[in-house]
């Protein structure tokens, strides 16, 4: 099963996803996409590290999600990706302008054959105002397009608001 979990910043989506992973009683592999570019982000990463179970396998991968999913696929396991919007940011800032499309296509191509249970966490950013600068507008557009493509192929889609999960699909 593939489950896309969306929500705003501090909506409770990571906590909800962690609960789902713990309830699965499967070995969990967390693919963390964040990079610590400043002190505030480093503190966010530390909080997430402290909040998650110590027995989870953690893979830090800011770019090549499809490759890491293929490499770590296991029908007896659960893979949790947190989060796709940080991953998109990393790709938008990558020096290779083609990498964003390549990595998105690779991620989407690997999903149909993936045997592990998959939880994908992402920020829903399309409910606010249109950003003022071109990079922010592109980020919002790319995020919205990715969410639509993932929602098509995922078995379940959940929106978390104020800590409350709302099933959108499945």
Is residue 48 part of the annotated active site? The answer reads yes
* Residue recorded with tokens 């949790």: 80
* 159, β-bridge pairs: 6, 166
Read off φ and ψ for residue 30, nearest 5 degrees: -100, 125
Q: Where in the sequence numbering do the catalytic residues fall?
A: 48
């Amino acid at each position: 099963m593939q489950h896309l979990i969306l929500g705003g910043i501090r909506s409770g989506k990571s906590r909800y996803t962690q609960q789902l992973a713990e309830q699965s009683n499967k070995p969990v592999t967390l693919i963390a996409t964040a990079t610590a570019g400043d002190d505030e982000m480093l503190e966010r990463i530390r909080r997430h590290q402290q909040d998650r179970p110590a027995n989870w396998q953690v893979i830090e991968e800011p770019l090549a999600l499809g490759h890491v999913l293929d490499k770590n696929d296991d029908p007896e396991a659960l893979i949790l990706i947190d989060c796709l919007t940080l991953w998109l940011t990393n790709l938008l800032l990558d020096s290779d302008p083609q990498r964003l499309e390549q990595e998105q296509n690779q991620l989407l191509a690997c999903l149909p054959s993936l045997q592990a249970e998959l939880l994908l966490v992402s920020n829903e950013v399309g409910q606010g105002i249109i950003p003022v600068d071109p990079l922010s507008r592109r980020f919002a557009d790319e995020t919205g397009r990715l969410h639509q493509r993932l929602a098509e192929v995922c078995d379940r889609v959940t929106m978390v608001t104020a800590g409350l999960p709302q099933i959108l699909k499945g």
